[in-house]
Structure 1
């Protein structure tokens, strides 16, 4: 919760517009997921995409993906939602690489789904925040 409050205070929370399918049948619409993406350049140029479950009335998350297109330095990506960390990547140098997670996370309208890069300061001294959190807001109806 502290991370999301900090992200909101820093102005990094961006509203995503989910793309929806315009198929003829409701069954086809329910089977496809809606994806919302946001990009930013603040220390590192990166994009976060969040896929929401197919039902337009639902804000449950089935996939998250972050891609850095500029160098990050050594460290790892953390993907998190309203109930905390979902998945951390392995440590490494990130440029033109993707970290993702697929599964299921229960969500509600207005929930924030975020990615942040933690930079390794080396020598066992720990990590610092290498990017501000980049967030997509769940927009289930």
Structure 2
């Protein structure tokens, strides 16, 4: 909850717009809704969140892709219940980090990605990007 409040306070929370639905080759996937948001602030990156269906806010997949160099560090994917998955540490450029599974969601929830930059020498991490978030809505 603290990260979500910080994301909102930072003013960097961007709500995404619906992009494409899943392919017709998987009938049960026809109802999936994918919402993406991108930004360029220190790092150019995009976050896509796959919701379980067009009228529900439950999440099945999150993916963040950096197209410019991040420096050394890791991506954190998080939602209203906290951290969902951290990536491995490394240099991220034209690479994706994703999680798939199931996370319970509600209308208005924020699903976010943030990059944590490794300061080296065991000195810890600092926020390398502001949280980029997709807001769950019950609308297509």
Aligned to 1:89: 87
Matched residue count: 135
Aligned to 1:113: 111
Q: SS where residue 3 of structure 2 aligns?
A: helix
Structure 2, gaps ≥5 residues long: 22-26
In structure 1, what is the Cα distance between the partners aligned to 2:84 and 2:61? 11
Q: Which stretch of structure 1 is more off in the superposition, 5-14 or 38-47?
A: 5-14
Aligned to 1:13: 13
Q: Which stretch of structure 1 is more off in the superposition, 56-65 or 83-92?
A: 56-65
What is the CA distance between 1:11 and its match in structure 2? 1.4
Contact kept, 8 Å, 2:57 with 2:136, in 1: the verdict is: yes
TM-score (norm 2): 0.90
Point out 4+ residue stretches in structure 1 off by more than 6 angstroms.
none
Q: SS where residue 8 of structure 1 aligns?
A: helix
TM-score (norm 1): 0.89
Cα 1:30–1:112, aligned 2, differ >3 Å: closer, same or farther? Answer: same
Contact kept, 8 Å, 2:19 with 2:36, in 1: the verdict is: no
What RMSD over aligned residues (CA atoms) do the two structures have, in Å? 1.7
Which of 127, 130, 133 lines up with 2:128 in the alignment?
130
Aligned to 2:48: 49
Per-residue deviation, residues 14-47 of structure 1 (Å, max 9, x unmatched): 12222465xxxxxx57743100000011111100
Per-residue deviation, residues 34-70 of structure 1 (Å, max 9, x unmatched): 000000111111000000012x321000000000000
What is the CA distance between 1:4 and its match in structure 2? 1.3
